[in-house]
Each structure stands twice: as C-alpha cells, then as structure tokens.
C-alpha cells in the first residue's frame, strides 16, 4: 500500500524521510533536555498545580 503511494506521488519519499528525521531530532532533543535539566526544577514544575500561590 505505501509502496504504491510513494510510486504515484513525486517527492513523497523526500517528504517521508524529512518527516522521519524531524521526528527523530525532536525526540532526541527532548531526551537530552530531560537528562540535562535540573531535577529540582522538574520537581518545582510538577508541584505547581498543587501549590497555593495566594498565600
């Protein structure tokens, strides 16, 4: 099914490779961010909905 789609539309293979590379780069960058970011900052962000900011 996908082979027919790629054969009939010119440039579809370039689009698929570009979207796959974009997908991979995004998730690699998010993974690196999660390893690099300060753990205390993540705990603070996780507790934001629970904290009473009016006090």
Query: Is 39 within 8 Å of 32 (Cβ atoms)?
Result: no
Look up the pTM and report it. Answer: 0.59
The alpha carbon of 35 is separated from its chain's Cα centroid by a whole number of angstroms, namely: 14
Q: What is the chain's pLDDT, residue by residue, as a tens digit (55 residues)?
A: 667 767 777 877 788 889 999 999 999 999 999 999 999 998 988 888 877 766 5
Taking only the tens place, the pLDDT of each residue in 31-41 is: 999 999 999 99
- The per-residue pLDDT for 10 is 80
The DSSP code sequence of 8-39 is HSTTHHHHHHHHHHHHHHHHHHHHHHHHHS-H
CB atoms within 10 A of CB 24: 10
The alpha carbon of 4 is separated from its chain's Cα centroid by a whole number of angstroms, namely: 29
């Amino acid at each position: 099914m996908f082979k027919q789609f790629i054969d009939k539309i010119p440039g579809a293979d370039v689009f698929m490779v570009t979207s796959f590379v974009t997908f991979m780069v995004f998730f690699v960058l998010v993974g690196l961010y999660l390893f690099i970011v300060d753990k205390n900052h993540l705990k603070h962000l996780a507790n934001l909905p629970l904290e009473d900011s009016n006090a």
